[in-house]
Amino acid sequence: MPEPIRYELLAPRPPDEGPIDLSAVGGGAGPLELDIGFGRGMSLFARAECAPHNRLLGIEIKAKWATKVERRRQRLGLDKVTVWAGDARTILRRCGPEGIVARTFVHFPDPWWKKRHQKRRVLQPSFLDTLARLTAAGGELFVQTDVPERHELYHRTVANHPAFEVLSAELDHNPFGAVSNRERRAEEDGLPIYRLLARRRPRP
Ligand SMILES: C[S@@+](CC[C@H](N)C(=O)[O-])C[C@H]1O[C@@H](n2cnc3c(N)ncnc32)[C@H](O)[C@@H]1O
């Protein structure tokens, strides 16, 4: 029997504890974008191709996917892309400085349905508090899903957050070229995709 691959040990990660400075991530130059829960990583690579001058930080809770995506990133020599394994909610809580993030992508989040798994959800008010702190005034939050009830929930959650203004909850296409694996599959299967774009309000 071959040894099992220890993705937990191989996965790229931020420092274990303490504050995390995002200023230097991806070489330090260019607007910083986040891709939360990138899964198999198509959205990261597609976005890197469309916006090569931007820095892109992807955070994925599954160590196996983070490891595989990091290997591909290295093969492609994408120095402005950073891949971390871990829970985006706890990692980003430790990050700063305030206002460093230009845009956040959350493509097809929350694959859990059971009531007892609600606390695992990424798009909750506390996560929006973190994003509100990290996002520059005028910065954007883009969320898409193929589940209508989730779209309504996300729309309500973002609209109710004082730091975000919903620009559209009915975008009929992804304007960022950051096509994700799930998005591609939903398109191939002819499923409707619900997209929301919000903007960080100016700080008082
Ligand atoms: C339904 S999949 C979508 C994957 C990809 N974004 C796409 O659109 O194809 C949701 C992804 O979010 C990841 N995820 C869920 N909770 C997370 C968290 N707290 N932090 C980081 N990633 C998370 C899951 O592991 C999974 O890869």
CATH of the domain at 14: 3.40.50.150
- Tell me which H or E stretch contains 86: none
Pocket test residue of 13, 44, 45, 61 for ligand 1, highest count of atoms within 8 A of CB: 61
Q: What is the DSSP letter of 67?
A: H
> How would residue 120 be classed by pLDDT, with cut points 50, 70 and 90?
confident
Of ligand 1's atoms, which has the minimum distance to the CA of residue 42? 9
Q: Kindly state if the Cβ of 180 falls inside 6 Å of ligand 1.
A: yes
Residue 172 annotated as catalytic: no
- 28 inside domain: yes
| Share above pLDDT 70 across residues of the chain, in percent, rounded to a whole number | 97
- 62 inside domain: yes
Give the residue numbers spanning the domain of 34: 7-200
Indicate whether 115 pLDDT > 80.
Answer: no
Indicate whether 114 pLDDT > 90.
Answer: no
Count of other CB atoms within 10 angstroms of residue 45: 21
Tens of pLDDT along 40-56? Answer: 999 999 999 999 999 99
Q: In 51-204, which residue ranges form alpha helices assigned H by DSSP?
A: 63-76, 88-93, 125-134, 148-159, 181-188
Least confident of 16-30, 53-67, 127-141: 16-30
Least confident of 25-39, 107-121, 155-169: 107-121
- Residue 91 alpha carbon to ligand 1 centre in Å: 14
- 2 inside domain: no
Residues 6+ apart with CB under 8 A from 178: 35, 43, 44, 46, 47, 50, 105, 107, 142
Q: Kindly state if the Cβ of 45 falls inside 6 Å of ligand 1.
A: no
Indicate whether 2 pLDDT > 90.
Answer: no
* Number of DSSP helices (H) and strands (E) in the chain, helices first: 7, 9
Total of domains in the chain: 1
- pLDDT at site 118: 75
- Residue 64 alpha carbon to ligand 1 centre in Å: 12
- 163 inside domain: yes
- 71 inside domain: yes
- 195 inside domain: yes
- pLDDT at site 113: 66
**Which pTM was predicted?**
0.97
